[in-house]
Amino acid sequence: MAEKKRALGKGLSALLKNPDTDITSAESIENSTKIVGSISELPLDKIEVNPFQPRTDFDEDALQELAISIKELGVIQPITVRKLGYDMFQLISGERRFRATQIAGLNSIPVYIRIANDQEMLEMALVENIQREQLNPVEVALSYQRLIDECKLTQEKMSERVGKKRSTITNYLRLLKLPAEILSALKKEDISMGHARALINVNNTETQMNIFRDAVSNKFTVREIEQIVKDFGNTNYTKTSRNRTKSIPTFEHQKISNDLSHCLGKEVKLKVLKSGKGKVEIKFNSDEELDEIIKKIN
């Protein structure tokens, strides 16, 4: 019986010391060419995709362009993987390069091998993607939320890890309070983060959606949305109120107003509607001032 135990112990020891099967081994793999903590070349079929990947959308045109570049120049920056054991690896970061290499028809890719548990891997993947600023605002917001929920990071810790101000992180997290339709538009870049941040300040969901839909159909600027929210954010924003929405003066219109004011020596206001119609207002305090204005115009 004792001999069997010794044999079993020896077999288990051999298994754990075998770099092909030991997931924590820093020893070499395949003739000392693939070492944890080093850059190596791995076959693509030995790499599993990252189940914690925060990016959900990949631009196919951009992938094709990257594939062409990789075919010509190779992969300049290695991807990062973790060792799973049994000569298999899992992607931590660099899925765009991994996918583009597959498209390019190559069989292997340079990798940086490291050891990581699931939580460490999730944190590394999320932080790496946020730092590279390749995610849309919704994906960034979801990444921050996952760091809070799954990695138990506080906003202070996240600020240190990703090199962002805490206020920036808070602004992203607030986006997740918006309705799904607005988040979808933000993800598709139908609206910007500036538009979304302005819409967050509307408490009434119906009003919020009405302003959002008008913003998309009329291509309102962020400043216009901010003004509409200021004027109607606490009321029921209906068709009637929409028709009363004032147009925010453009930089060109503001310059014309300033030039006229300087020329006439009086305050001049230029109001232009979205239809192109408008009016010019010149303030005066007496008949004498009006005469002076008329003389200058003539």
Give dist(CA 57, CA 188) in Å, integer.
Answer: 10
251-264 vs 287-297: helix axis angle to the nearest 10?
A: 110
Q: Would you give the DSSP letter of residue 41? A: E
Give dist(CA 90, CA 113) in Å, integer.
Answer: 10
State yes or no: is 3 an active-site residue: no
Give dist(CA 133, CA 86) in Å, integer.
Answer: 34
Q: Of 27, 72, 95, 133, which one is the catalytic site residue?
A: 95
- Record the tokens describing residue 198, joined without a space: 């302005």
Q: Please give the radius of gyration of the chain, using alpha carbons only, rounded to the nearest integer.
A: 30
Give dist(CA 182, CA 13) in Å, integer.
Answer: 56
Give dist(CA 223, CA 200) in Å, integer.
Answer: 14
| Size of the chain in residues | 298
User: Element (H or E) spanning 10, and its range?
Assistant: helix 2-17
Q: How far is Cα of residue 133 from the mean position of the Cα atoms in its chain? A: 6
Residue indicated by tokens 């091998």: 113
- Residues that are catalytic: 95
